[in-house]
Structure 1
Amino acid sequence: MGYGPSIAIIGAGVGGLSMALELDKRGLTNWTIYEKASGVGGTWYVNRYPGCRCDVPAIVYSHSQHQSPNWTQSHPPREELQRYWENLAKSQNLSSRIQLNTEFKKAAWNPEYHEYTIDLHNSDKKEDFTITAQILISACGVLARPQRMALPGTDDFEGKLIHAAEWPEELDNKALKGKTVAVVGNGCSASQIVGALSEDPEINIVNIARTKQWYAPNGTAKDSRDRNSIPFSPEIRETWRRYPFLLWALRWRIVAMLDQRWKWFMEEEGASWRAQVEGETREWLKKTVPPELYDKVATDDPWGSKRIIYHDNYLTALTKPQVKLIEGRLKSLRKNAVVLDDGQELIVDVVALAIGYDSEGIDLDIAGTTDKTTNYTSKAQLKQYLGTTMPGLPNYFILLGNNMGLNHMSITAVLEIQAEYVGKIIQGMRDYQLPQIEPKLEAALKWDGWMEKRLERTTWQRVSNYWRAGRTGRIYTHYPGSVLSLWWFFRWPVWKDFKGAEPIVRRQRLKRVLFLLALVVAGYFGRGRNGLGLRLVQDAVKGGESAVQAGKAAVQVLKSKVTELIGH
């Protein structure tokens, strides 16, 4: 058994592993991860569709404290990413505390013992079992449940109907030779699938898209390359192994560059920048695709109002003779065909739904003291404090909760920030022997209020997409600011915002009082030496009046500079 309170972590993806690393660092080793899949890595273990790869540099997608010099390219395929996280779990001695093939069913708070009773199911043994844990952490992520479509005629369709997130590995390019594949969607997954399948001229592809997207060049609009990913030579990898500080320097340079892009989606702050990027990208797009295709792929949405997609091989694929892009919505299926909303009927052998994930539904069934997750039908309805805790659910923490997603930067940065924050709270609970802790409702409402005002300043309000409740309601998925500003919010727990943390609040107040008392005592006992000690205190008090005024002015200047830097 490890040290500290018992902790159950749900999910062995990037979030769950980052949380485990943080807990071990703080000596909180009494944790277990429960993962429903057969391996670690989360989305990189589950997704097996053709062309699946990272669309941000792997150097910033990996854990900041565990950099790898072994990346073979800048944006590696999913196999390489999954292998990185699996090797990290092994090298850091996490694997022995991970239970695979174990699915979370529900949890209920036991107020008598200050712990959760958690029901789980082991798919290997085909049995249900129950555990208890003082702390419950959700690390399920937002890419856990594939979005479904209720398609009339599904039972009559004789071909293969699959979701991109559940792509059978045996359905590779060799198996698809001579067949027609309908790829539904034109987002990140769809563009990667179309690009990968199009490399075989014997696979016919029909890409069905109901909306338009912003497609970014591989590199820059002025200096675009054929593929988004850049190979790393053995010499470069050997240099990183010998001089790891060079890898660190590169990582932080990329982080700094990417984090500046948060202004893209701010209406006022990013207007001029956005106009420049949109203009350059449209000019590049006109040179990349023929005129008849340009009208089908060019969008009028503001840059950054939706997920930006690096075209990689997608736009090139659309110009190939065996690939056809059709604007429309999939309406139903027939024996060997798909039917669109305009009545078109297309003969196909395989239908691949690359339509994303159900990010709005409630993931976990958890009952707390005064609230439970099943009271809600949408995540947008949840009241969360910093997207990490919920009033009424003690000792429950969420990674990538409401408004914790990013549209300009690696999500790993958010997961590390949240994991460190949760680690500090649990460490405080251990050190002060706090049996339970939960955010106050007023603190959660205050955070929600700030978030709503901030979101009003974004271009996200202008479009309909899955980031919003019902596609047009409240934006509940993404954070409207820089990673630097997010770190500022999470740098240390504000204990007065939590029920159950009163002993820590009292201790902090006592420390401040003792510090002031020490100054007075020092002045009193020092008065005998020509009154030096007393005069020091008196001078400090007198000088303090002017110092306070100067300090206030300095604070205002500092606040304005910080506001300018982090955007609020």
Structure 2
Amino acid sequence: MGEAPHFWIEDRCVDAPRPLRAVVIGAGISGILASIRLPQRVPGLSLQIYEKNPDVGGTWFENRYPGCACDIPAHTYQATFEPNHEWSQFYASAQEIHRYWKKVVAKYNCMRHIKLNHKIASAAWNEAGGKWEVQVQNLETGETFTDVCDVLVSATGALNDWKWPQIPGLRDFKGKLLHSAKWDETFDWTGKRLAVIGNGSSGIQIVPAVLAKSTHIDHYIRGRTWLAPTFAREKVDQMGKGLDNFSFSAEDISRFKTDPDFYEKFRKDIELELQSVHAVTIKGSPEQLGAVEIFTENMKRRLAGKPLLADTLLPSFPPVCRRLTPGPGYLEALTDPKVDVITNGIREVVSDGIITTDGEHRPVDAIICATGFDTTFCPRFPITGKGGVDLADKWKQVPSTYLSLATDEFPNYFISLGPNSALGTGNLLLLIEKAIDYITLCLAKMQRDNIRSMAPRPDAVKGFVEYCDAYFQTTVFSLDCRSWYKGGTSDGRVSALWPGSSLHAMRVLTHPRWEDFVYEYVNDNPCGWLGNGWTLEEKEKRVRVDYLNKDQIDFPPVPTTAETEAETT
């Protein structure tokens, strides 16, 4: 038969982890979780995370506008392995969320993997070397250098690329011009007339936050929107909270700390409610039809001070078609005599104010832009894959991915919160954790199987895109409503959301389908994973037989007599 070629026997033990270097772009929540989970689960990994900002935290570092807070309950907006017993508010402020993630970073010593003030300029796949070549700019020194890695992970998030809205004359304004994503914390709005443009999540939070100290607010809204009833309202009321008071008392926080059973029940009750409303997204479902009545009653009650506003704000499309927010205090703020809700379009901005399409001139001291983000998933910098394919070109029409996490022609490139990853209902933090878990499983497989590169099969990417398009036709997301879910259009493709429930996504991402990937192997040797016939313990003369320990043995259950008789009858 002849001797097998020598190169088929790799000079490595079967269980020796292949050395890998990974670069993660961004130190927001995804990057922080990656800095914890990747070193924990991928032995011998060389990990570097680059963050363009001077601090970690991503959106919770960048967004500092008045009223900025999470729009789901704080006790569900945390790492599963690091519960916070000290949330001071039901809807935690951006500052408090940022402090929480800073504590997580400190506890797990994440900064040993993170370089701040470092921005990625470009990334290109080197086919010959099977590596990513990443150009990195040190924003403090201006120096640009190259980092070479086996795996590149994008953890930049979806809505962190802000821009000024395209309004004629905006730069001609002589008063104070602000954007929610680049807030000037020195700005004092006391006694000033304000214009707040936009009624998305940030606009909904800003209006009630600046109302008390301002003289007047002109609130410009482009479209109607639904405001959600409070999540877990009964649970909040049981703790003695009124509808407009979402702060926890010192007594509440003390009980969270000292009574673990109470804390866990409170947390799980809220989680259960978040995870139990997916049916409201399905066209024609009883839950979706019933939501219209519930949301309408809630909004009319909160707008009782100016009941005519209900006709202005209530949409014709069903709830959840656009991103929902409970907006504590927002509807109530709109009923204040100091607030004018303006639905006429903006014709232009002039030196002292805004002129609407009906020709009315409204002078203001400051304009707050709570709108204007890139929602296209276009890469923030050039990313070049196999054969010189540019990711921006590839995604120009359809941002195609496999399970939102990867795409064909881009080996060893993974994404957290990529296209079709966000949620219309449910808990996004859990999905971020699951995405990072999935990526760790991929890196572990590369080590275990001596894989040089892996990428999803083109037909797997195509299949996921087609599945998304078919699924969303059954949902309210495909209806006529302008949303960032559809790239800021009213009738475009749903490119932001996961095609299913939060629990569905968690189940899908738990066990990778390795058959949906194509692989290239180190030394082009598909059998290289078999190594040299040895294990590390044997080579290092530290053989153990722990597999005979009782805690290592999977003892099968012994059928009872009743079970045996039931099976034979």
1:184 aligns with 2:197: yes
Instruction: Check conservation: 1:11, 1:140, Cα contact below 8 A.
Output: yes
TM-score by length of 2: 0.83
1:440 aligns with 2:453: no
Q: Secondary structure at the match of 2:484?
A: coil
Instruction: Check conservation: 2:399, 2:495, Cα contact below 8 A.
Output: no
Deviation at 1:385, TM superposition (A): 0.7
1:35/1:316 Cα in 2 relative to 1: closer, same or farther (>3 Å)? same
1:395 aligns with 2:412: yes
TM-score by length of 1: 0.83
Structure 2, unmatched stretches of 5+, are 1-16, 531-566
1:502/1:242 Cα in 2 relative to 1: closer, same or farther (>3 Å)? farther
1:215 aligns with 2:227: yes
Q: Which stretch has the larger CA shift, 235-244 or 291-300?
A: 235-244
Give matches, 1:531-546, under 5 Å.
none
Instruction: Check conservation: 2:452, 2:521, Cα contact below 8 A.
Output: no
1:196 aligns with 2:191: no
Moved over 6 A (4+): 220-225
Structure 1, unmatched stretches of 5+, are 511-549, 551-568
Which of 11, 14, 23 lines up with 1:8 in the alignment? 23
> Counterpart of 1:288?
302
Show CA shifts across 1:232-262 (max 9, x none): 2333333333444543443333222211111
Deviation at 1:188, TM superposition (A): 1.1
Q: Which stretch has the larger CA shift, 322-331 or 2-11?
A: 2-11
Instruction: Check conservation: 2:283, 2:476, Cα contact below 8 A.
Output: yes
| Alpha-carbon separation, structure 2, partners of 1:65 and 1:478 | 25
Instruction: Check conservation: 1:10, 1:138, Cα contact below 8 A.
Output: yes
> Counterpart of 2:57?
41
**In the alignment, residue 342 of structure 1 is paired with which amino acid?**
D
Give matches, 1:337-356, under 5 Å.
337-356=353-372
1:56/1:470 Cα in 2 relative to 1: closer, same or farther (>3 Å)? closer
> Counterpart of 2:545?
none
Give matches, 1:49-60, under 5 Å.
49-60=65-76
| Alpha-carbon separation, structure 2, partners of 1:333 and 1:208 | 13
Show CA shifts across 1:178-226 (max 9, x none): 21110001121101110101122x4321100111100123457999976
Q: Secondary structure at the match of 2:276?
A: helix
Instruction: Check conservation: 2:405, 2:416, Cα contact below 8 A.
Output: yes
Deviation at 1:501, TM superposition (A): 6.7
Give matches, 1:11-410, under 5 Å.
11-28=26-43, 29-171=45-187, 175-200=188-213, 202-218=214-230, 227=243, 230-268=246-284, 271-289=285-303, 290-363=306-379, 364-370=381-387, 371-376=389-394, 378=396, 381-410=398-427
Deviation at 1:334, TM superposition (A): 0.8
Q: Which stretch has the larger CA shift, 347-356 or 33-42?
A: 347-356
**In the alignment, residue 516 of structure 2 is paired with which amino acid?**
D
Deviation at 1:3, TM superposition (A): 9.1
Task: Write 1 or 2 for the structure with the bigger share of helix.
Answer: 1
> Counterpart of 1:553?
none
Deviation at 1:409, TM superposition (A): 2.1
Q: Secondary structure at the match of 1:490?
A: helix
Identity across the alignment (%): 28
Instruction: Check conservation: 2:427, 2:502, Cα contact below 8 A.
Output: no
| Alpha-carbon separation, structure 1, partners of 2:191 and 2:18 | 59
Show CA shifts across 1:251-295 (max 9, x none): 333222211111111114xx2112222212222322322222221
Deviation at 1:498, TM superposition (A): 1.0
State the aligned residue count: 502
| Alpha-carbon separation, structure 2, partners of 1:455 and 1:499 | 28
**In the alignment, residue 142 of structure 1 is paired with which amino acid?**
A
CA-based RMSD of the aligned residues comes to: 2.6
Q: Secondary structure at the match of 2:54?
A: coil
1:372/1:219 Cα in 2 relative to 1: closer, same or farther (>3 Å)? closer
Q: Secondary structure at the match of 2:315?
A: coil
**In the alignment, residue 286 of structure 1 is paired with which amino acid?**
K
Higher relative contact order (CA 8 A, sep 6+): 2
1:390/1:128 Cα in 2 relative to 1: closer, same or farther (>3 Å)? same
Show CA shifts across 1:382-427 (max 9, x none): 3211110110001000011111101212321110111101110101
